[in-house]
Structure 1
């Protein structure tokens, strides 16, 4: 079968399983099993067992449950409320008011976790209850969390940038610096969209709680000190080389426990509830990761990503058209594979194509990561959508709908980066 027939067949199986109410992780594993058994000569049983074990035992992924646990601990203290007290006086003057705390929180935490799922889960655990308590509409709460949380893939330190740097033989330090300005650009675009929505829908934004003077605002900022100290300790442990991302996550958990104890909020009940809450959420995430890992292996055996990439290379397109086609290709394939697997499976074919077209591999790395970010909030396998579903109880289609504006903002950012490549290349050239 050709790649189009294979794609349609797998889509039919995927939607049939989802329509039958099968869990997402099991659906991904089922599609992978079908693809391997029916479309290849490779037995699926032992491959599935080895892949799921490899996914479940990955040391790199241990940072994720630790960051999720950190969020659960903070959720059970008044730190989230304090964060709002400290930020509210400054963002209350902006259209959209406290919705901007989602963007600010995700941007800050993205520089700590390197994972969009961890960013989404941690910030969401703190912000969603506070937003709902203050009367903000669910659509804007979820959308302003789903889109900005994808910054965990772009703002350094980023695991996916490391994978691309190794695969494309591009300096990882340059890639890290190249991701800073595009990350800030996306955060500004996200806040800009919130302000635009708020100006068009003033009646849906709750009124500012207080109208404080500048001196009073400075005083209220004291509530941010515990959160800032916690985040600073995690960031400092990474950037000074004292700890890896996983070890820094452990620093975050210890810091959260200390802060919780200092407030008198750490009891055996709150400790056990936070641990159980983190376990439940991560088990859901781990099952999806395991299914995605097996699906990635199955796609590799079928050869679908490589076939599609080779087909794109055979079209002999201009650089502009090539970028458009590759952008669409990666957005589509990202609907079914995780970002790291997408890069690993296609880079051997795509990299020579972009080099031949005269496209800077450093610039292309940032372009690629942003396209992978869009896949985090696009169905049917948008990972952040499932994280948000587990926290809000909303349908996937509803969450995808309210996150759609942020998808288009990321596409707009890609257009800006094409016309203004200095956003990507200026900082690495300046500092190295």
Structure 2
């Protein structure tokens, strides 16, 4: 259910279907077309009110109901004035005795339609005010009640209150459900953003080991250069010493950053984070472990692929295959799966294709290291590559990644906010 409308909008303007948005106009239109001739006829024949007055009151009491779809409070003011004038005029009507007064049956029906529109639009304070004003006008007119008439002021007061209460409660329920839906939407967006940030932090932790290795090599080479190359001039020695000091300082900054990233305790503990990061050369072990778990997997690994990729691409290729196989185990248990890793024209091509699930799909408790496709996309962003995923016509699924061996300069995917 949705909130019926905002101020100035027609009732049900936010409804998802066209017929629902047209419905208020159709309902009110039917009441106006029905009540207008009946009101004129009853005022003329039953109450013996003059034809001119009967026509004017019939129009004034019914036509403003059309305004109730968009501005019910304005329509209520017009109709209340028209009904009050009608009650005053009927005091001197020739046949008012033994009839309803001050509100005629047609006026009561039209007024209840107006109350329904008000209840779906206005606040509780406004509805209470409308109800009290309706009762007050009826009470004041009661002092001038003609003899032998049936006073309908109390009837309209009670029926109007019931209608306002029902439609007001309906509107409150719609508002509550809309707020819940909006909150769920916000929560879902926050969960997606948190998942993305967690995945980026995990990738940063893993890449620390890759970068730290190279920085350590630079430090060792710079420190050992005077011993490996005797007779080095003093300015050259000082240059190598400065290089070693800068490398050690960079390593210290990286360790402090890693301490912050590990502060949540996630990622399997500090020991797991210090372990050597896997690469393409470990895919055979990964596939064998998946096969032992009952998943039929075939691996096609091009000759030389294991040593051709730089560390970041090497790690990303392994993690993409790992996440893809984890998704197959979760969502297509028993499906035959093919993993292919090749090197072609300066790119590492990773392809994981699985067929339809042979067994019933069950919800497994994931123990993977990432967040499925989110992790794959972030790793591909990191290397400046491309990722193509999607279902296959036979019910299977395909994951294809292209990872350039030399990432384009200026690529800073870890600082982007979208995915």
TM-score, structure 1 normalization = 0.20
Which one has the largest radius of gyration?
Answer: 2
If asked which structure has higher relative contact order (CA below 8 Å, sep 6+), I would say 1
TM-score, structure 2 normalization = 0.21
